[in-house]
Amino acid sequence: MILNSITIILSSVVILMAIITPFVNPFFRFRKANANKDIAPEDDEQSEGQTESDENHEDGDEPTKEKVTGQPITVLITAHENAAELERHLPQFLSQVYEPGFEIIVVAEKGDGETEDVLKRHIADKHLYYTFIPDSSRYMSRKKLAITLGVKAARNEWIILTDACCTPYSDNWLKTIASHCSEEHNLLIGYSNYDNEAKSYYRFERLQTSCYLLRKAMRATAFRTNGTLVAFRKSEYIEQDGYRGNLEVIRGEYDFLVNKYACKGKTEVMLEQNGWIIDDAPTKKAWRNKQMFYMHTRKHLKRRFPMRLLFNTDNLLLHLNYILIVAALAYSIVVQNWILTGAAALALIITITLRTIFGKMVINHFDEDISAWCIVPYEISTIWHKLAHQIRYWLADKYDFTSHKL
């Protein structure tokens, strides 16, 4: 077999694509952004400042860090027909170790007897407070109304929003989050994912989306969050009228909160393991509904175009690479060009190896129980899952996504 220029060009293109495209990858970009965040120059300045603060503390003055983080915190939990989940997770919130003090505010539906019974069983706990949404409230998202009532009832400036179906990763969860609630920030986004009872694809898809969103929050103005852990300032929420402008959209309470209040340089991304929140495994119906509700929510979010462009570009290059490899393999076998066959096989090995390495690094970073063998097929299938959700949304009654039924 003669090595001609066409074989050299095709082999070079296939291998070059295999080397380049794995780096156009949310897992690779997140690891790079997270590494840069850890070694940024300002961290050195903070370390020096901390050293000076510690020296001052030895002389009898309180260190600056204690002045910033030593503040009471409010944890706001909304409950809607999930008394069993609240019963299971509420003790983990109430048992948090945080000396400056904290309060847990639960907002539930008035008339939900099972949830009321759960709350009454913990009524003796000094940290617990609860209130109820009035039955008369109509034409607005019940959950957003519950959040607003909880914010108004809060006695502290910093409020952590989460759900009744979530549990803190550790007893130092609140302490870890509070250490990031500084004067320089107005918003904090933490990491959350489903527990290991959830299907591995659900956890993979959520982790992959988190890499897009957390990196965006680190580098520019946060777009939204797909998690259930956001901390914000009460004063700012009140001043800017909370969810005004999107109260009729049933879901998206975390998305709208981040999208509205995020400012460049003022959003803190908290990734420490002790500060994670773990969500209960969703049913297939609940997971699909969450994806479909986001299809409706995103139409109302600012700064959505760059994120969609990035996601679509990643998937275009991912599929283009695999199509090129398969085409080269098929063509080379037909014409018996074994050099090109070898180049295509090598390109496939390079692609799978790099993508698996990048994915597994992030999976290990977040202690997710997802097999390395699943990374490549899950990456390929993501865009097709998104397309299926989009089709279901197109076919759905749009009144299902809004509280305005008129």
How high is the pLDDT of residue 140?
66
Q: Which two tokens stand for residue 321?
A: 């690479």
Residues of the chain with pLDDT under 50: 38-69, 405-406
Q: Which two tokens stand for residue 295?
A: 């299809």
How high is the pLDDT of residue 34?
79
Pairing of strands 277-279, 192-194: parallel
Contact 102, 72 (CB under 8 A): yes
Q: Which two tokens stand for residue 19?
A: 């080397």
How high is the pLDDT of residue 95?
94
Kindly state the DSSP code that residue 402 receives in the 8-state scheme: B
Whole-structure pTM value: 0.88
How high is the pLDDT of residue 2?
55
Residue written as token pair 């302490």:
175
Rg of the chain over all Cα atoms, to the nearest angstrom = 24
| Torsion sign (Cα): 142, 146, 149, 151 | negative
CA distance 78 to 239: 22
How high is the pLDDT of residue 4?
84
How high is the pLDDT of residue 404?
61
**Side chain identity at residue 355, one-letter code:** R
Residue 237 host element (H or E)? helix 234-239
CA distance 14 to 12: 6
Contact 204, 284 (CB under 8 A): no
